[in-house]
Chains A and B, each alone.
Chain A
């Protein structure tokens, strides 16, 4: 239970509530119920909630599935900075948005669902979760031969790199005599038979 990320569930709930609010609002305004202006409000609030909740936040551990086409809304939501990052603010916002829709019968369901989503966001905020945007990963250009810095300076037989490095450093530090372009780490004797 300790590793559940509640914000993801709250996000799904808020998105669903937004859709329910829109549907209820359409029914209320199209049916010309009394107090139909609550229905119009419900449609506007539903659209706003859907747009705010569409980009999914990044999970702390592991990869997150993006919603299709969410990168455009991510850019917009990111602009508001701490207002959208903090889940306390989102919880209070959703609670306030849900209250006016509760006065009309057609939209009362949206109120209940958005209130529940607001509660779960509060829980997520209490546990210290935050909304982080999902950045597109920069495509890594494969560095062909990135580990190859320089071609080897000595012909074979070549000892491993560590043995090659040490004599050359010592030689540089001591400014010892350099016996020509080829430095043999192992002395080579020419056997004349």
Chain B
């Protein structure tokens, strides 16, 4: 039922969320609408402008649109922080309190949810700003002398631009729009892929945004009347000037000439409801309590607590045990840290102040600490300037200082801090009975930690068969984990479970050397030249595992991921279900 035709519970959640927002927007928030009604009816009815329908409508439309979009913004600004509490999500993913796989798969969609909330904030901010600009104009044009407290403008025909820039809500609103503009333009896919730094630094402005939001709603623009019982809407004020004085008999004859159609049982109610009251005292207004504070304080406190926890946890540097250089620009770092626990498939964030004071980069763990061995490790591919500088610090270039022996270098390792571990969908591969893991190039790292865990002890997990497919462009890349694969294969042969791990290696570049190494017979015999034929592979796995649910995991380029996703959603004649678990990278 889960991935029939590509629909799955994550989509349902998204649809529910959108419907909720639509409900908030159209049905608008009851509290703000009562106060809105009171505000509008008091100011409008009191000053007898009922005849000017057009202006009334414009007034109401501007106010209602801005209040409704504000409600939607409240919801989204509070929800957008929750997917970013990564430690909390990692805890939920691993805890026993979340037994269902369906719920864990929802956690995989956290980044998508964050982006959806962001886009919604952007759209509704636009609506909110437009509505308030109309309001600013209306407040200055329709200044009401009778209810001075209700006016946002200070005098009639005040320049709306002055309203915008000299009031607290106006100024904070303008600053918030500028901050939002900077954040949104730096968050597009093209910028994230090419200049991740710009995205990261501007996105940290969110804190400024939230502080401005707290100030924005404290301006007290929207007020409600505190003495409704002594001054109800539409009551007659006998002390008013002549322009508004309507004599009582005329009023009665105007309104009560229609006979009451129903029986006498309702007559008392009728008289009570329409009995025109005389105003006892002047209306008093008080500003509404800013609802936004209630909405956003919870998630903001949670997020700040999480950041504090992560900061404290990552304050102790790790001890680097060894640094190993692998072919094809890959470096392995093995390290040790006390009280560090991680599950296979999780990733950590490395921070090295000697390389860059502000940057930190995520890397998947290739070896997790176990009960017997506290060492854990990562494999890094040297791709950008941070990794190049990091490699130069850890592994000095071979041409210089060849007399320095390796063991002396260990004392000169720079300080390294790690944050994490954080969860990822690959943790789930041990919870399926049959898993298909496809890796492209350096994308093998999450699966390496899974293989290391299986090497340690495979019995506690639900996994009984693993199809491991690794596609590389360069033959040398297979050397990164060739030893691990061989040892694992031998172990399962010794334990008489030769079909537990099925290894298939593919070399996508067809020219060049086609042997991994002399001693790796196991891998050489499982090496294929050319790209895998996925349809045949899926059919073969389906035939061998009839009626089972196979978890499909892919860590590699987007095109590969899309192909596998499409194939997983297709039906096959053997009754095997493929569940695709997606990881999002940028």
Binding site for B on A (CB under 8 A): 1-6, 8-9, 12-13, 16, 23, 27, 33, 56, 59, 62, 64-65, 105-106, 108-109, 112-113, 116
Contact = CB atoms under 8 A, between A and B. Distances in A.
Interface in B126-140: 126, 129-130, 133, 136-137
A5 B160 contact: no
A116 B182 contact: yes
B545 to A, nearest CB: 39
B487 interface: no
B177 interface: yes
24 contacts: A1-B197, A1-B356, A3-B385, A4-B195, A5-B195, A9-B185, A9-B191, A9-B195, A12-B191, A13-B181, A16-B181, A16-B184, A23-B126, A56-B190, A64-B194, A65-B189, A65-B193, A65-B194, A105-B137, A105-B160, A106-B133, A109-B129, A112-B174, A116-B178
B198 interface: yes
B546 to A, nearest CB: 43
Interface string B165-193: 00000000010011001101110111101
B193 A105 contact: no
Given A9-B191, A59-B194, A64-B190, 16 more contacts: A1-B358, A4-B197, A5-B194, A8-B191, A9-B185, A9-B186, A9-B195, A12-B186, A12-B191, A13-B182, A13-B185, A16-B185, A65-B189, A108-B164, A109-B129, A112-B178
Interface in B216-267: none
Dominant SS at the B interface? Answer: helix
B555 to A, nearest CB: 21
Consensus secondary structure, chain A interface: helix
Contact of A8 (B130, B136, B194): B194
Contacts of B358: 1
Contacts of B191: 8-9, 12
B161 interface: yes
Interface range on chain B: under 10, 10 to 19, 20 to 34, or 35 or more? 20 to 34
Contacts of A12: 185-186, 188, 190-191
- Please give me the 10 A-B residue pairs with the lowest Cβ-Cβ distance, nearest first: A12-B185, A13-B185, A65-B190, A9-B198, A105-B160, A4-B195, A113-B181, A16-B185, A4-B197, A12-B188
Q: Specify which of A3, A5, A12, A116 lies most central, judged by the most chain B CB atoms within 10 Å of its CB.
A: A12
Nearest to A112: B178
Nearest to B134: A31
Contacts of A27: 130
A18 to B, nearest CB: 12
Residue from B178, B182, B190 having most chain A Cβ neighbours under 10 A: B190
A75 B160 CA distance: 43
A191 B211 CA distance: 99
